[in-house]
Amino acid sequence: MKKYGLYIPLLFLLGCHPAPETETVSLRQPAHFVKLTADTLNPLTEAGIALGQQLFFDPILSRDSSIACVSCHLPERAFTDGKAIAVGVDGEKGFRNAPTLANLAWVNQGLFWDGRSPNLELQALDPVENPHEMDSDWDTVLSRLRQQPAYVKAFQDAFSIRSPAQIDKHLAARAIAQFERTLISSESKYDSVQRGEAQFSPLEQRGRDIFFDASAELPDAECGHCHTPPLFTDQTYINNGVQVSHDLDAIKDRGRGGVSGIRYENGRFRVPSLRNIALTAPYMHDGSLPTLEAVIDHYDSGGHAGPNVDPKIRPLGLSELDKQALVAFLRTLTDSAFVETEYLVQ
Ligand code: HEC
Ligand code: HEC
């Protein structure tokens, strides 16, 4: 009871109840994912999620209104773009591959390949002003938003603001973050098998056993140590030998080391989720591996040697059948309902 003591008089004072739109909603959390507690700093509301979705799909966030968030994060590709390296306004190439946005509500060890952003609310500020992405600035974007009555209304519904002048970049980012938290992928064949509702084919089962080092007769590929279910990432920062890194000072993309300033972390990147991996080619932070077969060949070879390459990355001795089996298993992580969701945007 004591908890409400503060709020009730406050509501009387303001003479209002929250509008139905601003009532918080809870995230549909898959039973087999870690339970998230309700976010008190940016509580989810129907109106906030709807506004975030609108912003995510709207090219007015970019300098010349040519690209939206969705241009590089396409729902049908599990929110990736099919390109090795993302391309922004004026064909400006960035440095890295666009990652999936599935299950980011559970990512809590840093966003981006190098983990430089602590949460979705801060991450969403970056693309708008990134010269390799939307190449705009928030002042421009905010003045555009304030001029559109539909957006003014949407911000009022989501955040109870009283005038268009109160629309700011942090509210826009909060709405985008709310929308992103609803992008949950947990209904693949893998999940059905886990629940006992489906069975792997013999090839998929072989791949699963190799992935999780689960059979004495088959090689141990170590995959499951880093790509741990249910998210298929343990969210650590690892050098998996994909780039040349024998000299840690000469490394092309320093990744985690570029953020932490720790030399030994140069060339480390966040272990990416493998959910919907069959839909998100090309692969790795630099998009250097075009297919799943190429990824398996990379791991089988042991990759480029380097002082901080993880010891689990080593020649695996996989047969052709083992490789096919691993690819077949990875394909069971595709969640068709997730990628076929249609987003209605006015
Ligand atoms: C030009 C293509 C492009 C556009 C436009 C773009 N992104 Fe991205 N996005 C990327 C790339 C590339 C990365 C990875 C960059 C890195 O790690 O340094 C990324 C990373 C992210 C991440 C981090 C995901 C993770 O797993 O850590 C989020 C979240 C995200 N983008 C959301 C957005 C939002 C929201 C917008 C619009 C405001 C947007 N993106 C616009 C290309 C794009
Ligand atoms: C020691 C930890 C580790 C092990 C073991 C490991 N991975 Fe990875 N995996 C990573 C990291 C880190 C990346 C991202 C590296 C980068 O982009 O520089 C990655 C990337 C990938 C990607 C590309 C994902 C994307 O979105 O681009 C696939 C696919 C993949 N791994 C599959 C596997 C498979 C299959 C195995 C077992 C044969 C495996 N991994 C073993 C750490 C690991």
pLDDT at 15: 40
Give the tokens for residue 58.
């709207």
pLDDT over 50 (residue 43): yes
- Least Cα distance to 188 among 335, 78, 338, 32 occurs for 335
pLDDT over 70 (residue 335): yes
pLDDT over 60 (residue 85): yes
Of the ligands numbered here, which is closest to the C-alpha atom of 69?
1
Name the burial class of residue 91, with classes exposed (0-12), middle (13-18) and buried (19+) by CB atoms within 10 angstroms of its CB. Answer: exposed
Of the ligands numbered here, which is closest to the C-alpha atom of 309?
2
Residue 50's alpha-carbon distances to 28, 317, 338, in angstroms, are 16, 50, 18
pLDDT at 328: 98
Domains of the chain and any CATH numbers: 22-27+34-181 (1.10.760.10), 189-340 (1.10.760.10)
Non-local (6+) Cβ contacts of 123 within 8 A are 111, 112, 117, 173, 177
For residue 88, give the ligand 1 atom closest to its CA.
Answer: 1
Of the ligands numbered here, which is closest to the C-alpha atom of 111?
1
Query: What does the pLDDT average to over 87-91?
Result: 95
Q: What is the per-residue pLDDT across 48-66, written as a single tens digit (0 to 9) for each?
A: 999 999 999 999 999 999 9
Contacts of 224-231 with C-beta under 8 Å, sequence gap 24+, read 225/312, 226/271, 226/310, 226/312, 227/271, 227/273, 227/274, 229/190, 230/30, 230/32, 230/33, 230/186, 230/191, 231/33, 231/103, 231/106, 231/273, 231/275
Q: What is the per-residue pLDDT across 154-189, written as a single tens digit (0 to 9) for each?
A: 999 999 999 999 999 999 999 999 999 999 999 999
State the residue for tokens 């009387």: 12
pLDDT at 346: 64
- Least Cα distance to 134 among 82, 197, 67 occurs for 67
pLDDT over 80 (residue 86): yes
Identify whether the C-beta of residue 210 lies closer than 8 Å to the C-beta of residue 325.
yes
How many Cα atoms sit within 13 Å of 97 on the Cβ side? 20
**In whole numbers, what is the pLDDT of the chain averaged over residues?**
93
Distance CA 289, CA 221 (A): 18
Residue located nearest, by CA, to atom 36 of ligand 1: 69
Distance CA 115, CA 252 (A): 17
Identify whether the C-beta of residue 246 lies closer than 8 Å to the C-beta of residue 307.
yes
Q: Is the dihedral of CA 314, 317, 322, 324 positive or negative?
A: positive
Q: 257: Cβ below 6 Å to ligand 1?
A: no
Read off the pTM.
Answer: 0.94
Residue located nearest, by CA, to atom 9 of ligand 2: 271
Read off the pLDDT band of 242 (50, 70, 90): very high
Q: Which of 120, 133, 138, 140 to mutate to test ligand 1, by most ligand atoms within 8 A of the CB atom?
A: 133
Using the mean position of ligand 2's atoms as its centre, give its distance from the Cα of residue 90 in Å: 32
Distance CA 285, CA 255 (A): 9
Using the mean position of ligand 2's atoms as its centre, give its distance from the Cα of residue 195 in Å: 25
pLDDT at 23: 84
Residue located nearest, by CA, to atom 16 of ligand 1: 112
State the residue for tokens 């490789």: 323
pLDDT over 90 (residue 18): no
Q: Which of 73, 89, 119 to mutate to test ligand 1, by most ligand atoms within 8 A of the CB atom?
A: 73
Distance CA 89, CA 124 (A): 17
pLDDT over 50 (residue 101): yes
Give the tokens for residue 120.
């979705």
pLDDT over 50 (residue 233): yes
pLDDT at 337: 96
Distance CA 43, CA 50 (A): 13
pLDDT over 60 (residue 7): no
